[in-house]
Structure 1
């Protein structure tokens, strides 16, 4: 039943949701996920704990669906594990909670079989892959801005608005009441100072200024190369038809420029002349930087470390194990690099997932039959998540702005991963020498 739930979840989230998005496929995803999740959560417990796993699943699901904090934390977790993801708080999804009763009943019946845990372990990769589908949040677009007395109002494409009464320092969101007949302005001059003007350059996502009433223009603000790369990865279509508009407001001590910066939200130049990207004030980041290439490399190297640890301690079946390990690693890499929401690629990825699972099972069997030494296998198991973190964490930091330059993230990832692999190699080599010496000391000449 758990296996059936995994396939229902996979087909619904990765195929049906794309073809028929709506309440039915959304709630079906919640039901199937609640049937599958307790079996995965139970693996975290040392002993069998069906009721505890089911209860913990229900509590976490409730927190995620009823609180913005829970939804935001879940979004960050899934982003770290599965790429840019957005989990939405929706209390109506709690209607799926009765599915936990079915999950508990299935779990209790399935564990009566000796092979139950093996079935869970074999289906776990596909289950994790299936449950990573999340609802995409609609992306707001700031497409116009007006000065209304002492306030500056940035209008969103969906009719809402962000309003500031202190020159762009603080913002509040309201329902908005824009005049749709007015076209967004792309240029404006400082009130009572007609020689200083500003204009937007949507194609380059830049703002230019003029000090001679618009006869000549020079750069005032433009994103850095790394900021541009982050924007491209966060909004793949931002540079195709990117919308921008601006308004200039006189303030004590100077003037401010407020830019409706399309998908990137709000951009402000304060009275001191400093530009800052405000984004979407009062709201969490609505989209994450796409780190799929870096995450794919991290997962691939982690899998290689995991399988390589056991390979270094095998006493028999070395060639068969290496063949299975190579098949598993390449299948994982193929699935990671070719993932698509389209129907045919999704089916091909399913075949790749099944191939990777078959290779994993073969590696487990050969590791046991080949009498792999426990220390190298343990090193592989412990070093695999460490390798994943050493590769992925610097790039995740770069996506958040620290470090700023991408090359620094690359250097950190290479350095940290090299240290992790070197540490694992030293431990494996030490164990191999000890095993050799122990074997030599037990031999006696006849």
Structure 2
């Protein structure tokens, strides 16, 4: 195919080359795998996580072998940072500790290391390798605008299928108990399914806006006609909103509404009218202020995943921060949260910590496990991808979805669920994909 005169991104409007059936199947594989992993409890078990990682590695190898025209370009910076994170994780398995080894090693006759649970750290490194694979798959799938749109639509379609099944199971009463009338879903937490619903909602909203962008609208008939053309996305938005309500996750709802408001404000800011500029800036400020106000005062008005209430959640945060101060630079090892939680369990901390399988704050949990060094590498990798990818594409869907993940990550643990972390990594890959010279 002859190269076009200028480069194009995922959001460019001109015509694109039809996608063959075999190529469509390849593009649909990652979203289908993510959905199947979500149905399998989020692929968090020690058996399923390596299987999913191996499958993603095979898909990446197949994608590179079947299409020699695409290249893994423009991701050198994040690749170096992420590679350094993996090397750091491997180093924590060795006896080459810096400073004193964790006190637990003094109680047993074994070679000390920075991590207090070597097997858990190895499992976490395997998961990180799988996330790297699906990120690179997203980079490959996002280079051609037609394929990137199809991949995004496949993500939305599989997400709608996941939420539809969850709603049916909820309506029929085939769900685990312990969360009242809230929809739990196969991943075991209403807040996780709430985050997923928010992510799919903003993706569908951004695709609908992209489809309507640049088309003249004169009167209500044109509006109705355009909405009819985008009916699949409208239906997806409504279903995701219903799932978000059924999950009763106020943290997920707050994160979703904040990102929608910020996105709408940004679109207004891009206009040349002073009134649009002022309105857009005001909308962004209101959204950010509302989120900060909602998140800081009382956690019991936001997140209900811990039934014992907000005081225990706040006590848990305080205890985890104190635990972090004992090993701030290098942490206790990737994947060692359960081991750390058991170590600090006492008669005084039992009420706040006994049922916690995660810190309910992904940033705090990363600091506990990887320390300041490992966390800096991970956060810098994600930040680099978001900033570099922003100038390459016009479709804001992946960035909005990342915002929902990260904002709700302040009060919950969705990104600790492997299937949701894989979705996050794939969307980051679509976001960071370089513009291809061909359609």
TM-score normalised by the chain length of structure 2 = 0.28
Structure 1 or 2, whichever has the larger Rg, is: 1
TM-score normalised by the chain length of structure 1 = 0.28
**Larger RCO: 1 or 2 (CA < 8 Å, sep 6+):** 2
